């Protein structure tokens, strides 16, 4: 038995059902053992400065993400995937576009009609960026899915992860990057929105998350029946 096969055999899922597999751990250690996938979709730590004054500084998510979400990530991790999409901050755009290499790529935006009312001498935080890079022939979706933007409100304060993305926003990207029955991986799974959306759309999904509390939340969400 090869060493690689042994690694796969020894990798025990945190949660598994017919469509979803969740691993608890560092994605850099786990990804080499999961085998090929069709598409990677992830929302990694943003490269931002999580600071602000007044009402902004008191917001729950700024306290929860400080020292984690503002640290960024190594965009070269995406090179192993033939096609991928990645949520990011403005500061990460150059790195991610560079990581696309010779793939085709597009900048997709999530536009929020209800942004946090903070400006501090800047534009409203009403837009988030998604870099989508794909191999030839790997852009899917119907005509209405091909818009370069999606308009959807921010989530409410009751979400279980400080940076949880709305299901419709994530579902749009999954439709663009995969076909039914294919496999999506999310190396920075968080509370499992990518996995939940993939399962709803008839895809298989693999999620990796380093914080166990979010693995528990994601497992609970994914254990529910298909919602769409």
Average pLDDT, the chain: 85
Q: Count how many Cα atoms sit within 13 Å of the Cα of residue 196 in the half-sphere of its side chain.
A: 23
Retrieve residue 1's tokens. Answer: 């038995």
Retrieve residue 63's tokens. Answer: 């306290």
- CA-CA-CA-CA torsion sign (148, 153, 155, 157): positive
The pLDDT > 70 percentage for the chain reads 81
The predicted pLDDT at position 126 comes to 94
Each residue's pLDDT tens digit, 60-96? 444 343 444 455 689 999 999 999 999 999 999 999 9
The predicted pLDDT at position 128 comes to 95
| pLDDT at 147 exceeding the cut of 50 | yes
- What is the architecture, at CATH level 2, of domain 3-222? 3-Layer(aba) Sandwich (3.40)
CA distances to 45, 47, 149, 180, 206 from 89, rounded to whole Å, are 9, 6, 16, 29, 24
Retrieve residue 27's tokens. Answer: 């994605």
Calculate the CA dihedral of residues 227, 25, 135, 36 and round it to 10 degrees: -90
Each residue's pLDDT tens digit, 84-128? 999 999 999 999 999 999 999 999 999 999 988 877 788 998 999
Retrieve residue 55's tokens. Answer: 């009402």
Each residue's pLDDT tens digit, 13-47? 999 999 999 999 999 999 999 999 999 999 998 76
Could you tell me the pTM of the whole model? Answer: 0.84
- CA 34 – CA 85 distance, rounded (Å): 19
């Amino acid at each position: 038995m090869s060493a690689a096969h042994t690694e796969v055999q020894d990798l025990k899922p945190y949660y598994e059902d017919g469509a979803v597999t969740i691993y608890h751990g560092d994605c850099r250690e786990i990804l080499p053992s999961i085998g090929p996938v069709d598409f990677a979709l992830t929302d990694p730590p943003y490269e931002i400065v999580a600071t602000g004054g007044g009402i902004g500084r008191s917001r729950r998510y700024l306290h929860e993400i400080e020292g984690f979400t503002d640290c960024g990530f190594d965009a070269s991790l995406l090179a192993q995937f033939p096609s991928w999409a990645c949520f990011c901050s403005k500061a990460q755009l150059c790195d991610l576009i560079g990581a696309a290499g010779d793939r085709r790529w597009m900048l997709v935006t999530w536009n929020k009609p209800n942004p946090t009312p903070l400006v501090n001498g800047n534009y409203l935080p009403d837009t988030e960026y998604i870099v989508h890079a794909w191999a030839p022939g790997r852009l899917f979706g119907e005509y209405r899915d091909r818009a370069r933007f999606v308009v959807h409100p921010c989530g409410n304060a009751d979400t279980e992860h400080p940076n949880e993305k709305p299901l419709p926003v994530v579902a749009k990207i999954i439709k663009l990057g995969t076909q039914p029955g294919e496999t999506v991986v999310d190396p920075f799974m968080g509370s499992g929105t990518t996995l939940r959306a993939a399962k709803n759309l008839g895809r298989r999904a693999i999620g990796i998350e380093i914080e166990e509390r979010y693995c528990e939340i994601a497992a609970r969400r994914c254990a529910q029946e298909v919602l769409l």
